[in-house]
Amino acid sequence: MERMESMEPISAHYTTDYPEIHPDSGFESRESCDIQAKTPPPSTYDEELVHKTILVGDSGVGKTSLLVQFDQGKFIPGSFSATVGIGFTNKVVTVDGVKIKLQIWDTAGQERFRSVTHAYYRDAQALLLLYDISSRTSFDNIRAWLTEIHEYAQSDVVIMLLGNKADMSSDRAIRREEGERLAREYSVPFMETSAKTGLNVELAFTAVSKDLKHRAVQHTNEPKFQIHEYIEAQKEKSGCCSYI
């Protein structure tokens, strides 16, 4: 907790697409997440809802690059480690004609276990957990991350496991099947991504947004949104799997 309080404000590359949220308000105010949790889901989706989404995984797996690719549609080579501690980027994702506001939190330098503490996970409604397909260590650490997530995050947090750097085929250390097996074991959706080529980056955030939307508007007579099925269908459509 002390570490969180000493963290610096966000850097200039973080963007604010909607003005009512301020970078330094993230940890202190509970914003709209609580409102959503405590009131029964409305029959229509409230576009004012803001969904705190966090990026988690070892240092160097490509969290910041993934966010920059999603936000700006480009890959900026080199490490972002020189940037400041923690901050968020606001993005609006349109799914099924509805605008979903994501407030996506990223860390730099706080990735070691136990140093990303309760405050980071608090109120997170979605969580993208990354490893690097060229790093066995980052993959092996996923179990420890999941343990930490189960300890600190809300029990109904939307989790997505991502094997990033899928473009690095000659340095691949983790087969896609290993990622799939781990994801099945923990019942979380999985895909390989590349922050460099953009592979599946939109899909990862769109799938999460769809799930968040369906959770916020749960009609009793409507089947529950199946994020696994959605991802599989979209992957097939985009022909991603022959690539990775």
Ligand X SMILES: Nc1nc2c(ncn2[C@@H]2O[C@H](COP(=O)(O)OP(=O)(O)O)[C@@H](O)[C@H]2O)c(=O)[nH]1
Which secondary structure element, helix H or strand E, spans residue 59, and what is its range? none
Window 25-54: residues binding ligand X (CB under 6 A) = none
Encode 142-180 in three state secondary structure: HHHHHHHHHHHCCCCCEEEEEEECCCCHHHCCCCHHHHH
Tokens of 232: 């599989």
Please report whether residue 108 would count as binding Mg ion according to CB under 5 A.
yes
CA nearest neighbour of 119 among 241, 5, 242: 5
The one among 52, 101, 196, 214 contacting ligand X by CB under 6 A? 196
- Is 225 an interacting residue with respect to Mg ion (CB under 5 A)? no
Out of 32, 36, 53, 64, the only residue in the binding site for Mg ion (CB under 5 A) is: 64
Q: Which of 27, 80, 225, 230 binds Mg ion (CB under 5 A)?
A: 80
Q: How many residues bind ligand X (CB under 6 A)?
A: 18
Residue choice 71, 167, 192, 211 for contact with ligand X (CB under 6 A):
167
Report the partner that residue 59 touches, choosing among Mg ion, ligand X, none (CB closer than 5 to 8 A by kind): ligand X
Interface mask toward ligand X for 74-113; x: CB under 6 A? ---xxxx---------------------------------
104, 146, 153, 195: residue in contact with ligand X (rule CB under 6 A): 195
| Positions in the binding site for ligand X (CB under 6 A) | 59-65, 77-80, 164-165, 167-168, 194-196
